[in-house]
Amino acid sequence: MARYNPKEIEPKWQKAWDGARAFATASDRSRPKYYVLEMFPYPSGRIHMGHVRNYAMGDVIARYKRARGHNVLHTMGWDAFGLPAENAAMQTSAHPRDWTYANIDHMRAELKSIGLALDWSRELATSDVGYYRWQQKLFLDFWKMGLVERRESYVNWDPVDMTVLANEQVIDGRGWRSGAVVERKKLSQWFLKITDKAEDLLAALDDGRLKGWPENVRLMQKNWIGKSKGAFVRFRLMSGTSASDGAKEIEIFTTRPDTLFGASFIAVAPDHPLAAAVAKDDPKAAAFIAECQRTGTSQEAIDKAEKKGFALPLFAEHPFIDGRKLPVYVANFILMGYGTGAIFGCPGHDERDHDFAVKYRLDIIPVVLPPGEDPKTFSVEGGPYVGPGTLFNSGFLDGLSVDAAIEAAIAKIAAIGIGRAATQWRLRDWGVSRQRYWGCPIPAIHCATCGVVRVPEKDLPVKLPEVPAAAFKTPGNPMDRMPEWLNVPCPECQGPARRETDTMDTFVDSAWYFARFATDVAHRGNGPVDKADCDYWLPVDQYIGGIEHAILHLLYARFFTRAMKNAGHLSIEEPFANLFTQGMVTHATYQDAKGQWILPEDVVTVGGKLATVSGEPVTVGPVEKMSKSKKNVVSPVDIIAKYGADAARWFILSDSPPERDVEWTDAGAQGAWKLVARIWETVEPHQGLLAGAAAPAGADELRRATHQAIAGVTDDIEHFRFNKAIARIYEFLATVRKADGAATPARAEALSALVRLIAPFTPHLAEECWEHLGGKGFVLNAPWPDADAALLVKETLVLPVQVNGKRRAEIHVAANADAKAVEREALADAEVRRHVEGLTVRKVVVVPGRIVNIVAN
């Protein structure tokens, strides 16, 4: 018997599928559509196991839905703009474009060896002019609709390299290449007004439009959008201490106006105008603000920095308490971008305010009394109380609940004209400017007389200028140094003007690619998307990708879909009907005696111990996400060469639930390979079996097992439980192999079902088996098997019987037995009698079809 050889068989079927154009998207729109999309890859150069996992999952769904009669759209493309190409250009002198497209060619070939059911004719790269010119058109549309704005905001600035740094290029507050301390620098930048859609982006999370999304992702987005109700309140600055710009008052935002009587200070952001005004004549204040500016721009850096304040020579009057003076601080944890950039601090009922008050020895006054506490003894000196309760020490609010006090406080503030109720959002507008070359150029022109002007649509695309590869060795954006590209006549006055040199955030590229995929290639020259095509295919029925994209990418795509609908390009608000977030691929880490990381392929077992190829001892470290820096990577290409694509796909799906991390182990991959070989071995003796097989009848073991397997695997695939589907296939295979005496029709039915059930997971093997058994056409076009409900019903059940919660016996009862009969049966059981001997039975709990519990004492 010939051993199964994936090296021959996998390319054979890949060629056969190609030759038959088997995965070309059908134009027949009468069938129900199904659009399955995996997050497209960044073309880093090589595929990794994370890709294999992501695309194997999508492929299972695509092939399964196809077998269920759907018209399936399943495509692949490249998230091709971004920083790594420019870093490569700095290191290797390769032009970002050449580097990127060479990587794409390489990765495409690697992906094809996995045997994915993809329509490659729809492939796109976001760096193609044919893609980004339509992104420029969308940008202009949004601009006309008022969704584009220019305003100042901060970037990480490397003062040595004179360049803007990404957050990941800032390491411990220093530039990654220069090592210089990074500064915050204000630049005029482009923004998309995602906050205009905040209300609907939030509402859709809860109103059923995203019922196919995981709860945790919806919750993360909800918290990210962060709608909070509260109030603006103006505090009068005390005379004689006014700031040098003459400000008489300071406006704060608070979500807890009920705690106003517990206020003991005011804090403003380092870039608040009041702070700047004081700093003008106060070198110490200026120095403190400068220090704050040296913290990075990321929220994480700001939050983790030690909370610090600087007392300005200013005091504010408490609006309700005569004579209470509130000192005004500049504090490094107050954000200018949220609310008014100023807060009042209530140390008794807020963590950060409490820390701040302890540090600067400010009053800590409790104003909310928890239920059951005595106001005379209750203290918040040791820590704030943030729960519900009743107001005290609070004048007109005394005795009210927190909620009632919030309302009463707002009413009073409004009545005396010092403030009003307000809603604030944590969500900020989307800064899309990048001071980099390898991105989509922003279609704008700066004219000294006309200001910032749109590039007319007829002049699109604004192509990236041709820049020599050597230009990337110099820090900064090479576009700034291309006068022949930079200088253009103003589209409005024809006077001298300059092109915008900022390019777009790559999140813009990935915010609408799903709709571009849905647009037929023949229609792609006419606009960003084809509305009719999108009306048929969208929304994406199943979107699959990493949890790391839970907020930004998904939120941006949701915003873009709304904006594109408003611009008339699409008819939907939500791009992804169902979302699945898959876990990472991890691997053990290995180090040699010197602490150097070692590739798994360079580790060998010598006498039961791990060693390097040259014999040095190796220590095994923790299992971590596969990463280049720790060298704990396994190349899919090597695995496919060794075991075949089917075994790789099988293992990556078999070992862990899809949403959790999976650990790649060579033993597991070998196990998958054994399975592939065993299935072939099981099928091989039955050449042509399907051709003349009679219809199976009866209800023998094998038939029951077959239909149970069909029902179980189907249900598991529908619910994204690939690991369980695979476990069931193992069980079913064992039954098939043991069923020596089964009748030929039952065996044909079992093998036919087996091959179709494995087809989404191991498609090459399934085709080979299908052909060998005499199945018609490709198994990929064969209908999914149906489970016969009559063969799934059990006649008798085995019920566990507990005595006082401990399992003591099992009884066999008819599936339709009533509770009384089950109870009688249980009490009659010899084992049960032994355990209740000498006790009085107090209660018998019968859970139908589940369990019996006898309570006795």
Partner RNA sequence: GCGGGCGUGGCGGAACCGGUAGACGCAACGGACUUAAAAUCCGUUGAGGGAAACCUCGUGAGGGUUCGAGUCCCUCCGCCCGCACCA
Residue ranges of E strands in 23-70? 33-38
Contact call for residue 711 and RNA (CB under 7 A): no
What is the contact mask toward RNA in residues 610 to 639, using x (rule: CB under 7 A)? --------------xx--------------
Applying CB under 7 A, the span of 219-227, 318-326, 372-380, 702-710 interacting with RNA comes to 219-227
User: Taking CB under 7 A as the criterion, which residues in 334-363 touch RNA?
Assistant: 351
Choose the stretch contacting RNA; rule: CB under 7 A; options: 229-237, 411-419, 521-529, 733-741: 733-741
Binding mask 132-171 for RNA (x = CB under 7 A): -----------------------xx-------xxxxxx--
Ranges within 359-418 binding RNA (CB under 7 A): none
Position among 38, 505, 530, 767 found at the interface with RNA (CB under 7 A): 505
Among the residue ranges 68-76, 131-139, 398-406, 652-660, the one whose residues contact RNA (CB under 7 A): 652-660
Q: Name the residue nearer to RNA (CB basis): 272 or 553.
A: 553
CB of 119 to RNA, least distance (A): 22
Which residue has tokens 């003062």? 159
Widest distance between CA atoms in the chain: 106
Residue 797: enclosing H or E segment and its boundaries?
Answer: strand 796-803
* Helix/strand/coil for 63: helix
Give the position of tokens 């700095």.
90
Contact 316, 238 (CB under 8 A): yes
Out of 430, 512, 680, 761, point to the residue binding RNA (CB under 7 A): 430
Site for RNA (CB under 7 A): which residue of 197, 354, 553, 558?
Answer: 553
Contacting RNA within 40-99 (CB under 7 A): 42, 79, 81-84
Question: Looking only at residues 251 through 270 of this chain, which bind RNA when binding is defined by CB under 7 A?
Answer: none
Closest to RNA by CB, 165 or 330:
165
Alpha carbons 756 and 44: distance in angstroms, whole number: 35
Contact region with RNA (CB under 7 A), list: 265-273, 376-384, 514-522, 849-857: 849-857
Residue list 4-33, contact with RNA (CB under 7 A): none
Number of residues in contact with RNA under rule CB under 7 A: 95
Cα(478)–Cα(465) distance, integer angstroms: 9
User: Quick count: other Cβ atoms within 10 Å of Cβ 548?
Assistant: 11
CA distance 261 to 271: 27
Q: In terms of DSSP bridges, do strands 342-345 and 796-803 run parallel, antiparallel, or are they unpaired?
A: unpaired
Stretch that binds RNA, among 217-225, 523-531, 535-543, 690-698 (CB under 7 A): 217-225
Assess 677 for contact with RNA (CB under 7 A): yes
Q: Is residue 813 near RNA by the rule CB under 7 A?
A: no
Per CB under 7 A, contacts with RNA among 780-809 are 798, 800, 802, 804-808
Question: For the chain, how far is it from start to end, CA to CA, in angstroms?
Answer: 65
Q: Which residues contact 234 (CB under 8 A, 6 or more apart)?
A: 249, 250, 251, 252, 418, 419
Residue choice 90, 469, 551, 599 for contact with RNA (CB under 7 A): 551
Q: Least distance in Å: CB of 83 to RNA? A: 4
Residue with tokens 């807060």: 343
Q: How far is the CB of 110 from RNA (least distance, A)?
A: 17
Site membership for RNA, residue 457 (CB under 7 A) = no
Tell me the HSE value of 184 on the side-chain side, using a 13 A CA sphere: 17
Pairwise CA distance, residues 344 & 264, whole Å: 8
Q: Is 787 helix (H, G, I), strand (E, B) or coil?
A: coil
Stretch that binds RNA, among 201-209, 391-399, 734-742, 815-823 (CB under 7 A): 734-742
Provide, rounded to whole angstroms, the least separation between the CB of residue 165 and RNA: 7
Hey, is 751 helix, strand or coil? Answer: helix
431 binds RNA (CB under 7 A): yes
Site string for RNA, 294-333 (x = CB under 7 A): ---xxxx--xx-----------------------------
Residue 211 as a binder of RNA (CB under 7 A): the answer is: no
Q: Residue 253 and residue 233: Cα distance in Å, rounded?
A: 6
Please select the residue that binds RNA; options are 660, 776, 794, 833, rule is CB under 7 A.
Answer: 660
Three-state DSSP state, 383: coil
For residues 140 and 563, the answer to whether their CB atoms sit within 8 Å is no
Residue from 22, 90, 181, 220 binding RNA (CB under 7 A): 220
- Is 501 near RNA (CB under 7 A)? no
**Shortest Cβ distance from residue 669 to RNA (Å)?**
9
Strands lying side by side in the sheet with 451-454: 451-454, 444-447, 496-499, 487-489
Question: Of the two residues 6 and 319, which places its CB atom closer to RNA in the complex?
Answer: 6
Alpha-carbon separation of residue 46 from 10, 51, 103, 113, 131 (angstroms):
20, 10, 7, 13, 23
Sole residue written with tokens 């990941």: 168
701 binds RNA (CB under 7 A): no
CB of 428 to RNA, least distance (A): 4
Place of tokens 């250009």: 89
Verify binding: residue 426, RNA, rule CB under 7 A. yes
Residues 6+ apart with CB under 8 A from 62: 34, 36, 72, 74, 117
Kindly state the smallest distance separating residue 767's Cβ from RNA, in Å. Answer: 22
In 577-735, which ranges are E strands? 579-582, 585-592, 597-598, 603-606, 609-612, 618-625, 662-663
Based on the shown chain and the rule CB under 7 A, indicate whether residue 832 belongs to the binding site for RNA: no
